[in-house]
Amino acid sequence: MENGSELKEENGALLGQAAILDGIQTDELNGGELHPTDWPEDKAMGEDELSLLQKPVDYSAFGKKDFVNLLKEVAGANDFKKAEEIIREIKPMFDSIRNHERAEALARFKLDGGIEEDFEYKGDEWDSAFDIYVKSIRENKQRYFREIEEQKNTNLQAKKMLLEKLRELADGEDTEHSLRIFKDIQKEWRTLGQVPQNEVKTLWANYHALVDRYYDQRSIYFELKELDRKKNLELKKELAAKANQLLSVENIGLAVKELNELHNEFRHIGPVPIEEKEVVWQQFKAASDALYVKRDALVAEVLKELQKNLAEKEKVNMEVAVFAEFTTDRIKDWNQKTKEILEIQKRWEAIGGVPRTHTREINRKFWSAFKTFFHNKNIFFKKLDAERQANLQLKTELLNKAIALKDSQDWNKASAELKLLQQQWKNVGAVPEKQREKIFEQFKTACDFFFEQRRSQMTQAERENYENLAKKESIITELNKIALEGTGTSQQIKELQTQFMNLGFVPKQAVHFIKQKYTESLNKAIASLPLSKNEKDEVTLDVQLAGIKQGHQGDKKIHQKEFHLRKQIAKAENDLSVLRNNLEFFGRSKNAEKMKEEFGLKIKEADEALALLKKQLQMVRAS
């Protein structure tokens, strides 16, 4: 082979001649790579499969501070693939929190009278830190890979220079130093790192062509070639032994990752003796296949477990979805539901991971319902706190009025005002728990002080009058309760009326007031009874008669009532007679059907009214 051969010759004919001469696969010469039929591409574990052996991280419960701390941790490492995966997974979650906070800030801005066009949201320190870390990681990643590409180009130039040295050595005269220089070139070639991918095949083809040319032109070619192949054989046997040792590693994921590295080394070791090539490959492949079988079994088991977890979490999601719609105005119910959802959360977290393709969606459903429940609860308690603060303000105002009245000597006026304040106090709702006892005690002390001072100035008769007033107010309260609940009976009302009428005098200034309140409450209680209108009218009359009879000159007033009813009955009977006569008149007319119908209706109503008056007269006579 001539020293002046072209590069094309090196890439083509020369490489082919050397391969045929030595019985070596062309692909084996191309960087020491395995023949495509030998490489177990269907067996090698990719990143996705390796990730199955790692427990997925559940970021859904993270807050913004947690996400920033996570990025801070990964930013310090050079594992940009992992960092990018984490960013891709957590950035939508972080943005969701940020968008929610922005929406709340915009709502508050509008409530304060602002317009959306003027709104500017700057975020907090965690928003800025998160964006800075994301930008920093991605800039470092770009710089890192840019430096790798630059290093590849540097390695390419270095390898081209080595090819020139190798060409000069192969075409030059053999000296005692030639072999040492040749080995130094080979050693330096191996130590140089990666080159641009599009240059790999050409470089390796040229390199092996020049190596073959060197050996072809040396008298010790076959001896050196065989020695080199035996050395490669020993290296490949060592790799096969290492692959076999990986079968005892408990962490299958780690073992497969190391096996992938061993495969990479195996590919880049040079050719071995032809008769040993298949043997050493089968040894290496057998260990690989055995590990892949273990890997496949574990992956299948993990997938089965993940699918089971997915089914369980979908059931839990159906349970927790109900909580997103929950609403009530009772604190007790909110607290009970909170206990229930926290128990569900414990079950959720105990289930474990799910297939990676479902992780985001299954977590989104759970945490969306979970956060919605607590968001609604937070709104309820904020509203409740606002109402209680407003109630505290109202009760503080009532307290100040009571304190201003407690030293008053105008017993009647101050007493009426304080009782009104007490009633208003009852109508005001709850106040914050911390102030409840204190403000009540202050109000009670002011009222008690006044009434104690008033009692000490009263005569015995006055005390009895005030006691009667208090009892009558209690009866009025009972009547109001019947009216509010609507579940009372006429018998209850009559008994309360009897109690009220049997009580003695009240303070003079309260006579008109208490009578008016009693009458109003009595009418409301009767109106609330579950009776027809006629039945309610009967109860009303019965109560009136009982009140008249128990009152001053009761018999005289009963006779007056009877006389008045007789007059009403006589008039009603006369009106009814006139209506009937008129109806007979229209009955003889041919074109008076409409008038007959109207008079018929009036007669019916008059009959019913007359019957009611007679019923009332009977009740008066019986009283």
pLDDT in tens, 166-197: 898 888 877 778 888 888 988 888 888 888 88
List the structure tokens of 46.
């990719």
Per-residue confidence band for 339, with pLDDT thresholds at 50, 70 and 90 = very high
CA dihedral angle for residue 84, residue 85, residue 88, residue 94, rounded to 10 degrees: -100
CA distances from 308 to 314, 352, 354, 365, 553 (A): 10, 10, 8, 18, 89
pLDDT score at 308 = 92
Taking the C-alpha atoms of residue 242 and residue 49, their distance in angstroms, rounded to an integer, is 22
The alpha carbons of the chain give a radius of gyration, in whole angstroms, of 51
Render pLDDT for 584-619 as a digit per residue (tens, 0 to 9): 666 555 556 666 666 667 666 666 665 665 665 555
pLDDT score at 336 = 93
pLDDT score at 600 = 67
pLDDT score at 377 = 92
Taking the C-alpha atoms of residue 262 and residue 43, their distance in angstroms, rounded to an integer, is 14
Output the CA torsion sign for 492, 497, 503, 506.
Answer: positive
Q: Judge contact between 364 and 60, C-beta under 8 A.
A: yes
Helix (H) / strand (E) element for 460: namely helix 460-485
Provide mean pLDDT across the span 401-423.
89
Residue 33 has what DSSP assignment? P
- Higher-pLDDT residue of 497 and 55 is 497
Nearest Cα residue to 92 out of 280, 359, 322: 359
Taking the C-alpha atoms of residue 160 and residue 199, their distance in angstroms, rounded to an integer, is 11
| 46 pLDDT above the threshold of 60 | no
List b or e across 515-530, with b for residues whose CB sees 16 or more CB atoms inside 10 angstroms.
eebbeebbeebbebbe
pLDDT score at 584 = 64
Least confident of 112-116, 433-437, 478-482: 112-116
Give the DSSP per-residue string, 192-254.
Answer: S----HHHHHHHHHHHHHHHHHHHHTSTTHHHHHHHHHHHHHHHHHHHHHHHHHGGG-S-HHH
Taking the C-alpha atoms of residue 409 and residue 400, their distance in angstroms, rounded to an integer, is 18
pLDDT score at 561 = 62
pLDDT score at 5 = 32
Provide mean pLDDT across the span 132-143.
86
pTM over 0.85: no
**What are phi and psi for residue 230, nearest 5 degrees?**
-65, -40
| 353 pLDDT above the threshold of 50 | yes
Helix (H) / strand (E) element for 468: namely helix 460-485
Mean pLDDT for the chain overall:
79
Q: Judge contact between 447 and 406, C-beta under 8 A.
A: yes
| 570 pLDDT above the threshold of 90 | no
Provide mean pLDDT across the span 81-89.
83
Least confident of 100-114, 291-305, 353-367: 100-114
Residue 503 has what DSSP assignment? S
- Higher-pLDDT residue of 65 and 598 is 65
Q: Judge contact between 210 and 165, C-beta under 8 A.
A: no
Domain residue spans in the chain? Answer: 57-218, 552-623
Q: Judge contact between 528 and 488, C-beta under 8 A.
A: yes
pLDDT score at 601 = 72
pLDDT score at 549 = 53
Our CA angle for 179, 181, 184, nearest 5°, is 110
pLDDT above 70 covers a percentage of the chain that reads: 77
Taking the C-alpha atoms of residue 163 and residue 468, their distance in angstroms, rounded to an integer, is 122
List b or e across 116-126, with b for residues whose CB sees 16 or more CB atoms inside 10 angstroms.
eeeeeeeeeeb
Provide mean pLDDT across the span 72-91.
81
CB-facing half-sphere around the CA of 28: CA atoms within 13 A:
19
Percent helix, percent strand, percent coil in the chain, to nearest 5: 80, 0, 20
Q: How far apart are the first and last CA of the chain?
A: 146
| 82 pLDDT above the threshold of 60 | yes
Residue 189: CB atoms within 10 A of its CB come to: 18
| 28 pLDDT above the threshold of 50 | no
pLDDT score at 451 = 87
Tokens 């968008």 correspond to 99
Least confident of 349-358, 496-505, 561-570: 561-570
Amino acid at 45: M
pLDDT score at 21 = 27
pLDDT above 90 covers a percentage of the chain that reads: 19
Residue 587: CB atoms within 10 A of its CB come to: 10
Residue 36 has what DSSP assignment? T
Least confident of 115-124, 128-137, 356-365, 546-555: 546-555
- Number of helices followed by number of strands (H, E) in the chain: 22, 0
Per-residue confidence band for 266, with pLDDT thresholds at 50, 70 and 90 = confident
Per-residue confidence band for 500, with pLDDT thresholds at 50, 70 and 90 = confident
| 311 pLDDT above the threshold of 90 | yes
Nearby residues of 54 by Cβ (< 8 Å), 6 or more positions away? 253
pLDDT score at 315 = 94
Least confident of 36-45, 243-252, 490-499: 36-45
pLDDT score at 96 = 86
Nearest Cα residue to 6 out of 161, 206, 294: 206
Per-residue confidence band for 201, with pLDDT thresholds at 50, 70 and 90 = confident
Taking the C-alpha atoms of residue 510 and residue 487, their distance in angstroms, rounded to an integer, is 30
Q: Judge contact between 86 and 74, C-beta under 8 A.
A: yes
Provide mean pLDDT across the span 211-227.
72
List the structure tokens of 18.
């050397």
Taking the C-alpha atoms of residue 490 and residue 540, their distance in angstroms, rounded to an integer, is 9
